[in-house]
Amino acid sequence: MSSYLVIARKWRPALFEEIVGQSHVTRTLKNAVSSGRIAHAYLFSGPRGVGKTTAARILAKSLNCVNGPTPTPCNACESCKGIASGSSVDVFEIDGASNTGVDNVRELRESVRYVPTQGKYKIYIIDEVHMLSTPAFNALLKTLEEPPPHAVFIFATTEVHKIPATILSRCQRFDFKRIPFKELQQHLKKIVTEEGIPFEEKAIFTVAREADGSLRDGQSLLEQVLAFAGGNLRETDVTEALGLMDRSVLYEISDAIIKNDGAACLNIIEKIYNFGYDLKRACGDLLEHIRDLTVVKVTGEATLLDLPDSELERLGAIAGGVGVERLHMLFSIISRGYEEVSRSSSPRYSFEMALLRAAHLDEIQPVGVLLERLEALKDMVGTAGVARTTPAPVSAKVYEARTPEAAYVVKEIRAEAQTDPEAQAAGGADGLLEYLRQKLRPLSDALGAAEVKVDGATVEVTVPADKQPVLKIKDKQIESVCSEYLKQPVRVRISAAAGGIPAADKKKETDPLVSDAIKMLGGRVIEDRRRTNV
């Protein structure tokens, strides 16, 4: 009775061409073997399960194959079969984690002096080489400096930074990378297809996503799901077997946030909590989901996303109903929430509060809108010279909205001013005063506390007594500018206000400027800290 061979071993690559996602490494090794440029020491570094040890074995077969050295070992001769099964007398696979001592390396140094028995090279594959002790590395260093011509060392590690620089400098280093998602997905699909297993596309997608760039992890997860599901590979089986959260929950959360439905957010968290899913992982998944929404919103396409077509359509629909600025703020809020969930003793509460903050985000006005409102308020304060109860209309020529949201706010302000009779009456005088200040900049100081009243063809300018002589001298210039603004000949009278302008000095119970600020910025007075005894 033959024993069952798990997928990870059954589908282990036997040739360089079969290694997935590491073409930059396999091409170099094949060319080196073909040209005879064989180094005495190689270092393969990278994440787990991406092909480091597999590449080391294929390189060993290429060097010791009966047809070798060759970039394409036959996998049929005694040497190739022995290396594949781990029984070759000339290829030694050593676990660096369990052979860390200097005595182990001394034994290796003794054996390396003897010529190979069967093949052309004596090859030492040391996995997790970073686990060797410092004395062991020092003992190995002498052999690497002056190795015998028949010896080849292949080191594999996931933590290359722990290897001494003296060892690194004597090796040819190859950095293995995480396997790209689409290549990993295609390989898993190839496995289930050739195994004759019916599958759903989203099931393969979920397994590949959980593998996180590791082919070995992907094959192991696939094995686990198949054992759970039996004959078919369905998405529901994958999520249940691996204890994953259904990805549709992410879309439910984002939809509830965008619709400002805090109650729905809390109900979803309740469902996640009862399911027993890790809340930190759920928050991390949501963070990635918001990033995907932002990418779709900014680029208008989904080429940068590793998602199935069904999700891309739904992602685009959600992204169409929210602005980029709000997505940026959502990402910041959920990112901060992720940190809180990670270190909180009550992660559920932290997650709930983060979602509620995100759901009520629309109560926070975008900076562009506030800037436009501040500009409009500045215009009111600057043109009035005194406190008034009615805001001046915003000049469309001077104030241009920088964002669609700001344009809407400015439009509202203009419409309100146009429909207010008092605002219409004050609009001409206020606009004239601002025009005078712009055209007659040397007189802007004297006009700073002025009050203008237009009565037909007469313009009355009232200023503090100390400013009247300055303006009297320039009365003809002022008349000219007023006529230009009002598009008719006018006569200007400059008079002094007795004791100053009462409206500017007298503090009423409700300051009109404060009222204007509240109206423009949509706020409320919490506390008045102005000093009244100065």
For residues 379 and 410, is the Cβ–Cβ distance under 8 A? Answer: no
Please state whether 230 falls in left (phi above 0), alpha (psi between -120 and 50) or beta. left
Question: Alpha helix locations (H) across 276-403?
Answer: 279-299, 309-319, 324-343, 347-359, 367-384
Report whether pLDDT(340) > 80: yes
Q: How far, in Å, are 88, 388, 450 from residue 476 at the CA level?
A: 109, 29, 17
What the chain holds in terms of domains, given with CATH numbers, is: 7-175 (3.40.50.300), 181-242 (1.10.8.60), 248-363 (1.20.272.10), 367-521 (3.30.300.180)
* pTM of the model as a whole: 0.64
* Mean pLDDT for the stretch of residues 425-440: 75
Share of the chain above pLDDT 90, in %: 31
Q: How far, in Å, CA of 372 to CA of 303, rounded?
A: 36
Six token digits for residue 1: 């009775």
265, 352 contact by CB (below 8 A): yes
CA angle 209, 215, 217 (to 5 degrees): 70
The pLDDT of 479-488, averaged and rounded, is: 87
Distances (CA, A) of 95 to 39, 43, 425: 22, 15, 90
Q: Quick one: tokens of 236? A: 């529901």
Question: Do residues 59 and 29 lie in contact, with contact meaning Cβ atoms separated by under 8 Å?
Answer: yes
Rounded to whole angstroms, the Cα distance separating 282 from 338 reads 9
Alpha-carbon dihedral of residues 60, 62, 63, 67, nearest 10 degrees? 140
pLDDT band at residue 365 using 50, 70 and 90 as cut-offs? low
Count CA atoms closer than 13 A to 234's CA, side-chain side: 8
Of these ranges, 18-22, 109-113, 116-120, the one predicted with the greatest mean pLDDT is 18-22
What pLDDT, in 10s, does the model give residues 143-197? 888 888 999 999 999 999 999 999 999 999 999 999 988 899 999 999 999 988 8
| Residue 508 pLDDT | 39
Q: Is the pLDDT of residue 271 over 60?
A: yes
